Amino acid sequence: MATLETKRATGLTISDVAQETGLTSHTLRYYERAGLLAGVERNGSGHRRYTSEDVEWVILVTRLRATGMPIRLIRRYAELVRDGEGNEAERLALLEAHRAEVVARLDQLHRNLELIDYKIGLYRERACDVGAR
Amino acid sequence: MATLETKRATGLTISDVAQETGLTSHTLRYYERAGLLAGVERNGSGHRRYTSEDVEWVILVTRLRATGMPIRLIRRYAELVRDGEGNEAERLALLEAHRAEVVARLDQLHRNLELIDYKIGLYRERACDVGAR
DNA sequence: GCTTGACTTAGAGTGCACTCGAATCCCTAC
DNA sequence: GTAGGGATTCGAGTGCACTCTAAGTCAAGC
């Protein structure tokens, strides 16, 4: 078994990263296949070894997913980052467009939450009443 | 073609309701099959005729869907409503549980939005800088 | 009376994001 | 040296919520 020392030198295994990010190894491989992760380094026997930068990136990906950004947009963003400098404007545009969608979704969620609260109020106030649906 | 008068008397057609709710006729039939809508009345030739109460209910369903309540829970709720009085406590519990989930999701969304804002900030402030990912 | 178009049904297909299976490989411990 | 456990790959399977197709029925307008 690799010591912490060794891991620091050679990078984390896929199950280390799975544990740290809350994803499964399956999902990590799926993300890599889908182009969300730049090529992760391999050791002599072909096993993935993740750097801490890789892990940071994976965490960013999970956050973007958690806000509902679809895989294909995250891939686009990842591609831009991989292509390096010169496309920052496009990256910014992509993030801003997504931000706008998240804000819109938050608004809608807040509004619909009010309806739920209204219904809950009905059931609480007139629990023995007839017509509440 | 049915006049508005006629429609008021006989109920709305599926495409009327589709238009009014933003769903498609397909989705309305799907919801009915899935047990989300109590049996909608039919006219002589077997076509659905929706009452305004039906439409109200459909709108409530769309709002619950918009907050991410899964079909199976909406079905459960619809069943309770159909069963009539006596189960208000369960309806309330169902709505409150869902409310808690929505609130949790809102929180998480807010937190992740902050990360997006942070990234956007990076690109705005140091658009010409190197290391921003 | 016949076309047009909206409606009906059962059931198949789609898109998304995983999620899992099977076969195989390889390092470690006994 | 061999069993175990985890890694690899490709590709198939799953779950959800629609979304659409095909075959057929029916009412209204020309």
Phi, psi angles (nearest 5°) of residue B6? -55, -45
pLDDT at B6: 45
Chain B residues 19 to 58 whose Cβ lies within 7 Å of strand C are: 25, 29, 33, 42, 46-48
Residue B91 contacts by C-beta under 8 Å, 6 or more apart in sequence? A123, B77, B80, B81
Of A45-54, A68-77, B8-17, B92-101, the one with minimum mean pLDDT is: B8-17
B66 vs A108: CB contact, 8 Å cut-off? yes
* Cβ contact A121 with chain C strand, < 7 A: no
Using an 8 Å Cβ cutoff, are A115 and B63 in contact? Answer: yes
Which residues of A fall within a CB distance of 8 Å from B85?
Answer: 130
Q: What is the pLDDT of residue A6?
A: 45
Predicted pLDDT at A8: 46
Q: Answer whether B12's CB lies under 8 Å from B55's CB.
A: yes
Question: A73 vs chain B: nearest CA distance in angstroms?
Answer: 14
- Write down all domains in chain B, each with its CATH number in brackets: 1-84 (1.10.1660.10), 88-133 (no CATH)
Q: What is the mean pLDDT of residues B39-48?
A: 84
Which conformational region is residue A50 in: left (phi greater than 0), alpha (psi within -120 to 50 degrees), or beta?
beta
Band (B4; pLDDT cuts 50, 70, 90)? very low
Distance CA B132, CA A40 (A): 19
Q: What percent of chain A has pLDDT over 90?
A: 61
Q: Do A116 and B57 touch (CB under 8 A)?
A: no
Separation of alpha carbons B38 and B52, rounded Å: 13
Q: Rounded distance, CA B65 to CA B60, Å? A: 9
Gap from B36 CA to chain A (nearest CA, Å): 13
Q: Which nucleotides of D are covered by protein (CB under 7 A)?
A: 6-10, 16-21, 25-29
Q: How confident is the model at residue A128 (pLDDT cuts 50, 70, 90)?
A: low
Each residue of A24-71: pLDDT tens digit? 999 999 999 999 998 788 887 778 899 989 999 999 999 999 999 999
